[in-house]
Amino acid sequence: MTEGGATVTPLRPKRPCPECGRPSTRDAYPFCSARCKDVDLGRWLTGAYAIPVREEDDEDGAPETDARDA
């Protein structure tokens, strides 16, 4: 596939699967298999990847004040 000495670079670099560490495949990128892809999807759907939220901040970012603090 090299014409005139030019090399073809892949569109996606080879990366390890984020679930098991094996090399990723083109069909399931960035995972190595449909199984690892489904495991990751299951974690998203159950909320395992949820970002924690701090409840003490108000909508404008200022901390809530209590009448007892005054």
Identity at 26, one-letter amino acid code: R
Closest CA to 12 of 1, 3, 24: 24
- The annotation status of 22 as a binding-site residue, yes or no, is no
Closest CA to 27 of 17, 42, 19, 40: 17
- The annotation status of 36 as a binding-site residue, yes or no, is yes
- The annotation status of 32 as a binding-site residue, yes or no, is yes
Beta-bridge partner residues of 23: 16
Which residues fall in the annotated binding site?
17, 20, 32, 36
Which residues fall in the annotated binding site for Zn(2+)?
17, 20, 32, 36
